């Protein structure tokens, strides 16, 4: 979903990717996320991993944008000391929430002294606070995923860290790979999901629009993303082993 001053009708598709969901009357059609730019894991043991192939190579600092952890405000650039997956999401984005389930499951298995996963809602249409964002994850059957919330429905994080490939606005969902120094080394936009509604695959590529019923079906189902696969395990294992600090 690419989002500017308002929301336009773009979403990211990678491989077997689903479209995104958006507030109210707005919806999304998929486009390809893989580009001609450099891939982060080229020349590594992950260079044929389907998930790793979606990550473009970047080198950006986490910005000093204030977020809330429910008890206090902190600056996002304080996330240092361990490798992290930082997932940017919004409550109106059904594929974001499906993906968050897989991130929560991975965190239960892999989080430790050298690795963690954190979810950061941004561009929140309902302007949810920390408690509201937590409740939305609970409704989507997401448990145990730490939250840092951009206050007041702000979209600075989305616009700063996930600019639209079309050059206008931003894109959700977005997954960032952050090294132990707090630098973003990889970025993937879109949710590589198998949770498409029934019949979606038969529709023309680039023309499929998620309806409200589709979103409900995605969230009610148990089908996940490629993070719920051997490719997901291999990528997270490499992150735990410090691959970002060696690139």
pLDDT value at residue 216: 78
pTM recorded for the entire structure: 0.82
CB environment 47-56: b (16+ within 10 A), e (fewer): eebbbbbbbb
pLDDT value at residue 11: 32
Query: Tens digits of per-residue pLDDT, 83-110?
Result: 999 999 999 888 899 999 999 999 999 9
CB environment 160-187: b (16+ within 10 A), e (fewer): ebbbbbeeebbbbbbbbbbbbebbbbbb
Low-confidence ranges of the chain (pLDDT < 70): 1-37, 167-168, 193-210
* Three-class secondary structure of residue 107 per DSSP: helix
**How do 73-75 and 66-68 pair as beta strands?**
antiparallel
Residue 69 neighbours by CB distance under 10 Å: 13
Query: Tens digits of per-residue pLDDT, 173-194?
Result: 899 999 999 999 999 988 776 5
């Amino acid at each position: 979903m690419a989002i500017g001053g308002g929301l336009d009708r773009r979403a990211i598709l990678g491989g077997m990717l689903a479209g995104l969901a958006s507030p109210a009357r707005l919806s999304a059609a998929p486009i390809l996320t893989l580009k001609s730019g450099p891939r982060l894991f080229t020349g590594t043991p992950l260079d044929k991993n389907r998930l790793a192939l979606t990550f473009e190579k970047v080198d950006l600092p986490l910005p000093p944008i204030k977020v809330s952890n429910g008890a206090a405000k902190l600056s996002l650039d304080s996330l240092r000391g361990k490798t992290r997956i930082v997932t940017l999401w919004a409550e109106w984005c059904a594929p974001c929430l499906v993906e968050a389930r897989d991130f929560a499951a991975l965190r239960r298995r892999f989080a430790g002294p050298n690795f963690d996963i954190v979810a950061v809602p941004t561009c929140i249409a309902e302007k949810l606070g920390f408690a509201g964002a937590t409740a939305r994850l609970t409704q989507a059957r997401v448990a145990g995923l730490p939250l840092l919330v951009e206050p007041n429905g702000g979209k600075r994080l989305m616009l700063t860290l996930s600019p639209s490939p079309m050059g206008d606005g931003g894109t959700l969902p977005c997954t960032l790979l952050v090294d132990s120094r707090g630098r973003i080394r990889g970025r993937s936009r879109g949710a590589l999901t198998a949770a498409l509604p029934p019949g979606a695959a038969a529709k023309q590529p680039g023309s499929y629009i998620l309806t409200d019923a589709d979103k409900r079906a995605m969230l009610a189902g148990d089908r996940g993303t490629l993070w719920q696969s051997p490719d997901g395990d291999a990528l997270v294992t490499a992150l735990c082993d410090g691959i970002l600090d060696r690139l």
